Amino acid sequence: MAGVSLLNGDYDAAIDWAGRALTNEMKATYLATFGTALLGKGLEAPALEAFQRAVALDPVDPSIWENFGNALNKVGQADQARLCFVIARAYQKLPFLGERDSIPRSGWNALTRAFNPHLKSRARVAEAHDAIHCFWSNAPLSEMSRLSLQSIVRQGHPVKLYTYDNVAATQACVPPGVIVADAGNVVPGAVYQHAVLNSEIRGFSDIFRYAVLHEFGGWWLDTDVVLVKPLDFGSEHVFSTQWSGLENGHVCVGDVMRAPKGSVHMANLYALSLQRLFSEDRVEYGAVGSLLLSEYLLVAADDALRSSILPPTTFNAIDSREVDLLVAEGRAGFELLSDPRVAGVHLWAKMWAERRLRFDAVPEHSVAGYLKKLVLEPISDEAAWAC
């Protein structure tokens, strides 16, 4: 009856009926109806409290998040509303995110098998492959990044590393087969300097990847992703996802992306990222990266573009919150990477720094140690995760 009263615009009756229902059973849908009715009466604070309790009680119901977003929009909280809409669409369009917490961690990859199954890596090492673009600047090239670049070369992709540092000096530090290029020819140095001063260099690399893919097409890889297969998924655009971070709207991530030259989507993302960069005093982490990408792909885009989204299994089978599995000598990390759809391993360099882990001191029989051996002393791909 509360729902019928809402449809009729009778907010007093809706509040009464929802209140009665809640005294009998505390359900998230009742709380959401209660919140909508309270908002209809102009009672903003208790309405938002009801929605907060609703999503706490049932955090994976897309309709509750959608209604919460609508309520936040009505009270002028547009940023929080956008976040609610991202969460709603993520649970709706990426159903494995809502299912994962009900099963053991070892079963998460199985949840993604029916998600965009047409996106399968079809390439072979001996074939010609698309170029891969990367970025590094303002610091000496790390051992992890050298390994990432070397893994790309090993898989047969042309790779170009863009930098605002001295090109010749950087060229002397990269693995053979990597071409270093002036990043200023893609994005003006003034934009780079503004981004570094008002966000961080990772935020700028989010902006740069949109620009370079629009300009040249091909693939983007972060320099903490180790490639274990050549890349060809039979799709003009390819986007990546991760297991965690949805509470902040960080579900679609830019660690690996593909786009054709002149992509309208890369042009749109580049323009939107610059708009955010120059309109905010301090650009928060993800604002021009994973949050923007998630908004664009899950809320604004159509189903055709969403069919280009890969599950976390492909590149982020080990999540950023599980970086310890990369350095542990047990089987857990290897088991997560044993899925045949895994094409690369994201090492999450930021998390290594935060946890004070040393890439030069990883155990030989850890995932990270094995990746070093796989890239530097190549063995058969069939045996890749068997040891």
Each residue's pLDDT tens digit, 71-121? 999 999 999 999 999 999 999 999 999 999 899 999 999 999 999 999 988
Would you say residue 1 has pLDDT above 60?
no
Give burial (CB, 10 Å; 0-12/13-18/19+) of 303.
exposed
H-run or E-run covering 300: none
Long-range pairs, 74-82, Cβ under 8 A, ≥24: 74/39, 75/39, 75/44, 75/48, 82/249, 82/295, 82/299
Looking at residue 302, what is its pLDDT? Answer: 84
Would you say residue 201 has pLDDT above 80?
no
Determine the average pLDDT of the residues in 50-72. Answer: 94
Determine the average pLDDT of the residues in 346-375. Answer: 94
Would you say the C-alpha torsion 312, 150, 152, 179 has a positive or negative sign?
A: positive
CATH topology of domain 2-93: 1.25.40
Would you say residue 385 has pLDDT above 80?
no
Contact indicator for 359, 133 with CB cutoff of 8 Å: no
Would you say residue 202 has pLDDT above 90?
no
For residues 345 and 224, what is the distance between their CA atoms, to the nearest angstrom? Answer: 8
pTM of the model: 0.91
- How does residue 10 score in pLDDT terms, banded at 50, 70 and 90? confident
Residue 349 in tokens: 């360099």
**What is the full DSSP assignment across 161-178?**
EEESS-HHHHHTTSPTTE
Report helix angle 62-74 to 44-57, nearest 10: 160
Residue 342 in tokens: 């895994």
- How does residue 386 score in pLDDT terms, banded at 50, 70 and 90? very low
Task: Count CA within 13 A, CB hemisphere, residue 24.
Answer: 6
Contact indicator for 186, 133 with CB cutoff of 8 Å: no
Looking at residue 40, what is its pLDDT? Answer: 85
- Arithmetic mean of pLDDT over the chain: 91
Would you say residue 234 has pLDDT above 80?
yes
> Which regions of the chain does DSSP assign to beta strands (E)?
132-135, 159-163, 178-182, 218-221, 225-227, 238-241, 252-259, 344-346
Residue 91 in tokens: 């649970």
Hey, how many other C-beta atoms are within 10 angstroms of the C-beta on 169? 10
Helix (H, G, I), strand (E, B) or coil at 182: strand
Residue 157 in tokens: 């992709």
Determine the average pLDDT of the residues in 358-387. Answer: 78
Each residue's pLDDT tens digit, 238-249? 999 999 999 999
- How does residue 387 score in pLDDT terms, banded at 50, 70 and 90? very low
**Cα separation values, 357 from 151, 328, 335, 337, Å:** 21, 11, 22, 21
Looking at residue 128, what is its pLDDT? Answer: 67
Determine the average pLDDT of the residues in 211-235. Answer: 97
Contact indicator for 232, 268 with CB cutoff of 8 Å: no
Determine the average pLDDT of the residues in 41-52. Answer: 90
